[in-house]
Amino acid sequence: MKVLVLNGPNLDMLGTREPSIYGKQTYRDLVIELKKEAKKEKIKLKIIQSNFEGVLIEFLHRANNKYDYIILNAAGLTHTSVCLYDAIKAIQVPVIEVHLSNIDQREDFRKINYVRPVCLASFYGKGFESYKDALKYLIKRGVSHDSHR
């Protein structure tokens, strides 16, 4: 199974940005944990982080016929980006939404979620475990895309 992990704005600041919300582990720690988990499960994982919406959209577009699934932490773009919504709808690769914090129980503006309606599933509120839960979900699901949305 081939999985693309796309991480959005400010995730490169993990460990220093609001550690009371996002924890003290760094982005590098996240990448190491995900690669270790993927190796254990024999998943081919590519991990990308960008602070730019257009870069994330380009990676979504290029994912067709290259990946079985995409795990997306759109970060703050979750609450603002109709463009990400449209990009996810435009591709055939199923997308799983992930967030470190529980965005449904934070500021009111975070309750707006443009990404969730076009994602196969959502995992959030458990820090790095949210990503691991998404990987476990994909393992159980396999590579079938029959009813991906």
Any domain includes 149: no
CB-neighbour burial class of residue 57 (10 A; exposed 0-12, middle 13-18, buried 19+): buried
Any domain includes 148: no
pTM reported for the whole predicted model: 0.91
Give the CATH number, domain containing residue 95: 3.40.50.9100
Q: What is the pLDDT of residues 39-71, one digit of tens each?
A: 999 999 999 999 999 999 999 999 998 999 999
Q: How many domains does the chain have?
A: 1
Please report the pLDDT score of residue 111 as a whole number: 81
Any domain includes 109: yes
- Known catalytic residues? 22, 99
Domain that holds residue 117: 5-141
**Region 3-7 average pLDDT:** 98
Amino acid identity of 17? R
Which is higher by pLDDT, 29 or 101?
29
**Region 141-145 average pLDDT:** 72
Amino acid identity of 53? E
Any domain includes 128: yes
Any domain includes 94: yes
When pLDDT is cut at 50, 70 and 90, the band that residue 5 belongs to is very high
Cβ neighbours around 108 below 10 Å, total: 6
Any domain includes 146: no
Instruction: Inform me whether the pLDDT recorded for 2 exceeds 80.
Output: yes
- As a whole number of angstroms, the distance between CA 16 and CA 121 comes to 29
Count CA atoms closer than 13 A to 117's CA, side-chain side.
12
Beta-carbon contacts of residue 8 (< 8 Å; ≥ 6 apart): 49, 50, 51, 53, 56, 72, 73, 74, 75, 76, 77, 78
Q: What is the pLDDT of residues 9-30, one digit of tens each?
A: 999 998 888 777 767 889 999 9
